[in-house]
Structure 1
Amino acid sequence: MTATAAPTSAPFRFFDVRVARTRRLGPSMVRITFTGERLAELASGGRDQRFKLFLPQPHQSAPVFEDTGDGWYATWRAQDPAERPVMRSYTIREQRPHLGEFDVDFALHGADDPASAAGGPASRWALAARPGDRLTVLAPAVADNGGVDFRPPPGTDWILLTGDETALPAIAGNLAWLSPGTVAKVWIEIGHEDDRRALPSFADVEVTWLVREHAGPGRGEPVLDALRAAGLPEGTPYAWIAGEAGTVKAVRRHLVRERGFDRRAVKFTGYWRRGATEEDLIAELTAAATAAAATGEE
């Protein structure tokens, strides 16, 4: 199977982009294609390549930065919240350097339901996006970069992937990257039957779709429940888990404690958390990093 070296530190650069076109993929997701003048310099590593996307405030036509140099983060944090760009993390679903384009799939989180207040700023923006709308992204300038987490080590016999619709673009990228003959078992939670999509891969892939609209009250945790009931292949596994943070932690705990996975072979990422915005999560991470620095525990 395919294996990669450990990630190297790599520069990420700011790119000004605009919407080229949009396409609804199903009830819960829309694909937006971005274009820009310098996108030939953007170097996606494929797989679950993440990057930072910056949205303008509602009264702005484009994101407004006071600094896009090495100190951008501290300056961004210090900006007036009513003026600073809204930052979100997303996956590059596909890049076409020869056309200066890349695609991003946005989960809508119910933002298209006029009867509810569901959906965050990015979901609402994506739902209303039109060609020409302007954004800024912070994306890699080299392919081997720290924004790629899916890195099965040498000696891996089979792959386990789980996630919800927010992880679907990354799962699709991971599967497309796998080599022929690789065994991959995949569990994906989606909101609606029509959210299913083809997941092309050269690997030997088995996908289990867990559809929330089919579940009744007290449905539990679909991914965790399905994993507990599943028979898994023999051999050395590598697991990649993403989606809602609480579910991700529970799945990791199950794999390590109940299934005997080596914790070093389980890559887990909370893409979102129930009841919390990304601003909340950023504030928590910043506070934790500050506390660690103050006590010398970095």
Structure 2
Amino acid sequence: MIPKVRRAKTRKMITLEVLANTAPSPAFRTVTLGGPELAEFEPAGDDQAVRLFFPRAGQDGLRMPTRDNEGWMAEVLLMPKSRRPWVRNYTIRRSRPGEIDIEFALHDGDAPAAEWARRARPGDPAGVFDLGVSYLPPAGVAWQLLAADESALPAVLAILEGAPADLVAEVFLEVPAQSDIREVEAPAGVRVHWLPRLRPARPGALALQAVRDADLPPGRAYAWVAGEAALATGVRRHLVRDRGWPKSGIAFLGYWRHGRASPG
């Protein structure tokens, strides 16, 4: 799943440090990063994503790659594991002068990013490399469909907070529990459907079924769907096969796969 992406003309490896660590709800942590090098970072809003670099447990610091292009991947892989950082993709939840927030869904198990987010303290090092924006609605659509599980919740909330006042949208947000439902800043034409999992289930399945069952508005539309891979591909398949949507009107991103660890 390689979506269209809008990126800044120039991108740099940016080394930052943790400024704060808060919990917006039981299943999430928000880590605020900042530092002088953030002046080199260009906030783009919406679902702007970054490669997040953070130390492995037991490392005495963060070794960032030096290449400001995709050659950084080979550079990291050539590092011995004792020095190699963890690397994961995350959305910028909010940006302010001198600060950015990154929100983590605390999946069960010992996922490295969730463990780092739980223990991150002010002064801890982290780094980012801009990946751009994939939420690119075309002009002239009558309404939008946004669907996400908890891994893509920060992206959708960022999109809604920056949305134009005339946005019309149906939004489906699956979260681990009732306690993870929040107030949403969104235009009046946006309807948000919160979908807490009330029993153990594969993440994304509830949101996929809700979209299948939904009475969606007529007219030309744009969809942005992200989260567990089966949610992203399932919604796209449903919209194309069952509702006759053109593939060009759907951006779908598999952030992760249930039961599979990310390489690193």
Matched, 1:138 2:123: no
Structure 2 residue ranges without an equivalent (≥5): none
1:237 is matched with which residue? 221
TM-score normalised by L of structure 1? 0.81
2:182 is matched with which residue? 197
Rounded Cα–Cα distance in structure 1 between residues aligned with 2:45 and 2:102:
12
Contact 1:243 1:271 in 2 (8 A): yes
Q: CA deviation at 1:120?
A: 0.7
Q: CA deviation at 1:66?
A: 5.6
1:25 is matched with which residue? 24
Aligned partner of residue 223 in structure 2, secondary structure: strand
TM-score normalised by L of structure 2? 0.91
2:256 is matched with which residue? 272
Rounded Cα–Cα distance in structure 2 between residues aligned with 1:31 and 1:233:
34
Q: CA deviation at 1:8?
A: 5.5
Matched, 1:76 2:56: no
Aligned partner of residue 279 in structure 1, secondary structure: coil
Letter in structure 2 aligned against 1:107 = A
Aligned partner of residue 36 in structure 2, secondary structure: coil
RMSD across aligned C-alpha pairs, in angstroms? 2.0
Contact 2:202 2:258 in 1 (8 A): no
Match of 2:208 among 203, 207, 224: 224
Q: CA deviation at 1:218?
A: 9.2
Rounded Cα–Cα distance in structure 2 between residues aligned with 1:154 and 1:66:
38
1:41 is matched with which residue? 40
Aligned partner of residue 141 in structure 2, secondary structure: coil
Rounded Cα–Cα distance in structure 2 between residues aligned with 1:122 and 1:41:
24
Deviations 1:174-193 (A, max 9, x none): 11222122211011111011
Match of 2:119 among 123, 128, 134: 128
Aligned partner of residue 126 in structure 2, secondary structure: strand
Q: CA deviation at 1:201?
A: 1.8
Contact 2:53 2:128 in 1 (8 A): yes
Pair 1:257–1:84, CA change in 2 (3 A): same
Rounded Cα–Cα distance in structure 2 between residues aligned with 1:134 and 1:211:
34
Aligned partner of residue 276 in structure 1, secondary structure: coil
Matched, 1:55 2:39: no
Aligned partner of residue 152 in structure 2, secondary structure: helix
Contact 1:108 1:119 in 2 (8 A): no
Q: CA deviation at 1:231?
A: 0.4
Percent identity over the alignment?
39
Letter in structure 2 aligned against 1:13 = K
What are the equivalent positions in structure 2 for 1:277-292 lying under 5 Å apart?
A: 277-279=261-263
Deviations 1:94-149 (A, max 9, x none): 1112xx11111111113xxxxxxx0410100000111111112113xxxxxx6101
Pair 1:10–1:203, CA change in 2 (3 A): farther
Letter in structure 1 aligned against 2:119 = A
Letter in structure 2 aligned against 1:96 = R
Aligned partner of residue 246 in structure 1, secondary structure: helix
Aligned partner of residue 92 in structure 1, secondary structure: strand
Pair 1:82–1:216, CA change in 2 (3 A): closer
Q: CA deviation at 1:276?
A: 1.8
Letter in structure 1 aligned against 2:226 = A
Q: CA deviation at 1:48?
A: 0.2
Deviations 1:230-270 (A, max 9, x none): 10001101000000012211111011111111101100001
Aligned partner of residue 38 in structure 1, secondary structure: helix
Rounded Cα–Cα distance in structure 2 between residues aligned with 1:218 and 1:20:
34
Pair 1:82–1:255, CA change in 2 (3 A): farther
Match of 1:159 among 131, 144, 158: 144
Q: CA deviation at 1:91?
A: 0.5
